[in-house]
Amino acid sequence: MTLCLRPAVPLDAGAAGDILFYFQQDTEWMPKLYTWAEAISFCGTMIDRGWVTVAERQGSVLGFLARDGAEVCALYLAPGACGQGAGKALLDAAKAAAPRLILRTFAANTRAQKFYRREGFAETGRGGGAGNEEGLPDIAYEWRAIREAAA
């Protein structure tokens, strides 16, 4: 069963919003700030801006990545989709499209931290939570493409 990456279309807002909302609901340390409808609306806005790529298999959206230039604004996977290659495929596509990527993840999200470090991201700073709506400590990461030496 092949994993397919494609630009998100407006009808993907529901699936992406579900993924985002259920991450919030199912993650013990995550504040419950947004309703299901607000999560869908937020994803719809990112899709309308052309930021979102979805990963799907057999017509089911497994995850999505939103990127505004060099900034990875969101990378979320559906429950049960971790470890199936969707997150890496989405991140690899973003790397192929930009020579530099930056992102932030919550300090409590140790799984994401391991993933980003494994994918070549380096920590560039930490915040106490004043810079995000959730008020949670976070970590900034950066990835840069390795430039080939001129022959």
Main-chain dihedrals φ then ψ at residue 56, nearest 5 degrees: -135, 155
Q: Is residue 75 part of a domain?
A: yes
- What is the per-residue pLDDT for 146? 84
Q: Is residue 149 part of a domain?
A: no
What are the tens digits of pLDDT across the range 20-68? Answer: 999 999 999 999 999 999 999 999 999 999 999 999 999 999 999 999 9
Under a CB-based contact definition with an 8 Å cutoff, are residues 72 and 66 in contact? Answer: yes
Domain limits for position 30: 4-144
Q: How many domains does the chain have?
A: 1
- What is the per-residue pLDDT for 148? 53
Q: Is residue 91 part of a domain?
A: yes
Go through 72-102 and write b for each residue having 16 or more CB atoms within 10 A of its CB, e for each that does not: bebbbbbeebeebebbebbbeebbeebeebb
Q: Is residue 151 part of a domain?
A: no
Q: How many residues does the chain have?
A: 151
Domain CATH code at residue 22: 3.40.630.30
**pTM given for the model:** 0.93
Q: Is residue 150 part of a domain?
A: no
pLDDT at residue 149 greater than cutoff 70? no
Q: Give the residue-averaged pLDDT of 101-120.
A: 97
- Predicted confidence band of residue 81 (pLDDT cuts 50, 70, 90): confident
